[in-house]
């Protein structure tokens, strides 16, 4: 009888992994974005922005699809609310990446030489944080297979702890870069300073969101 089949709702874990992949693709383009920006290659900045924007839109579609197929009558091994909050935070990573890309297309601002080094280190640390988030979040189907218990959970919790360390490191890089910008106040001019500050804040927010997503995953695991 079809009853047996009807009992199985569509698992959210497969589409969640797809969402993780899509969001990760947007973050992967961030180094290229800064490469173009610091080289004052404005047409390439525009081109990278368009790619990020398309990817962010695809991530949104997956997000909406997951939400559409998550009625409250589902019985899942994790809390439905935790899962939705995780999805929301994860989606915000892609949103921030897009915000950053838009921002960089807004104003043709040259990068002073003294800024290059701390900026590169900051970008690098944000990317490392989000890479670790990606590694953690894409283990979700494996966690489900292991029924959210055992060594897989310990591995994930250990990674989540490391993400928080990485994010803290990213905060320090952000402060360093901000200091480098403010040290060149006169040379850059007020508008450029404010513009740079916004760029750095948005970039730092990508790491914040990656950490938040990981924290949501931690809550999902801790509630059990």
Partner 1 sequence: MDLGSGLLVVTLIGGAYMAWNIGANDVANAMGTSVGSGALTLKKAIILAAIFEFLGALLVGSHVTDTIRKGIVEVSLFAPTGPAGADGPLLLALGMLAALISAGAWLHVATHLALPVSTTHSIVGAVVGIGVATFGLAGVDWGTMLEIVLSWFASPVLGALLGFLTFVFIRRRILQSEDPAGASRKIGPYLVGLVVTIIFLSFIYKALKNVIEAPPFALAVGVSLALGAVATLASRPLIKRADAHPGGPYEHVERMFAVLQVATAIFVAFAHGANDVANAVGPLASVVTLARTGFQEIATTVPVPLWVLLLGGVGIVLGLATLGYRVIETVGRQITEMTPTRGFCAEFGAAATVLIASRMGIPVSTTHTLVGGVIGVGLAQGMAALNMRVVRNIIASWLATVPIAAAFSMTIYFVLRAIVF
Binding residues (CB under 8 A) for partner 1: these are: 1-13, 71, 73-77, 142, 144-151, 224
Based on CB atoms, which residue is closest to partner 1, 10 or 116?
10
Structure tokens at 215: 């924290």
Separation of alpha carbons 8 and 126, rounded Å: 39
Burial class (CB in 10 A: 0-12, 13-18, 19+), 22: buried
* Smallest separation, CB 192 to partner 1 (Å): 50
* Smallest separation, CB 141 to partner 1 (Å): 9
Based on CB atoms, which residue is closest to partner 1, 71 or 113?
71
Based on CB atoms, which residue is closest to partner 1, 3 or 43?
3
CA diameter of the chain:
77
* Smallest separation, CB 78 to partner 1 (Å): 9
Based on CB atoms, which residue is closest to partner 1, 146 or 183?
146
* Smallest separation, CB 9 to partner 1 (Å): 4
Separation of alpha carbons 183 and 179, rounded Å: 6
Residue-wise over 58-83: b if at least 16 C-beta within 10 A, else e? bbbebbeebeeebeeeeeeebeeebb
């Amino acid at each position: 009888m079809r009853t047996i089949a009807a009992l199985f709702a569509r698992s959210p874990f497969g589409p969640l992994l797809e969402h993780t992949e899509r969001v990760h693709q947007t973050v992967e383009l961030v180094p290229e974005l800064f490469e173009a920006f610091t080289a004052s290659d404005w047409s390439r900045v525009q081109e990278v922005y368009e790619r990020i924007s398309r990817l962010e839109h695809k991530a949104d579609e997956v997000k909406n699809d997951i939400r559409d197929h998550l009625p409250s009558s589902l019985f899942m091994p994790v809390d439905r609310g935790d899962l939705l909050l995780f999805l929301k935070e994860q989606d915000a990573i892609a949103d921030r990446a897009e915000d950053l890309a838009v921002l960089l297309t807004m104003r043709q601002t040259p990068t002073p030489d003294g800024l290059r080094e701390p900026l590169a280190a900051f970008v690098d640390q944000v990317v490392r944080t989000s890479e670790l988030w990606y590694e953690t979040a894409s283990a979700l189907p494996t966690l489900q297979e292991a029924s959210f218990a055992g060594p897989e959970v310990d591995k994930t919790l250990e990674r989540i702890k490391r993400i928080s360390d990485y994010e803290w490191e990213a905060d320090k890089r952000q402060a360093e870069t901000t200091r480098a910008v403010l040290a060149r106040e006169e040379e850059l001019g007020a508008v450029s300073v404010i513009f740079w500050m916004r760029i750095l804040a948005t970039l730092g927010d990508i790491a914040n969101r990656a950490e938040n997503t990981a924290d949501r995953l931690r809550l999902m695991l801790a509630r059990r």
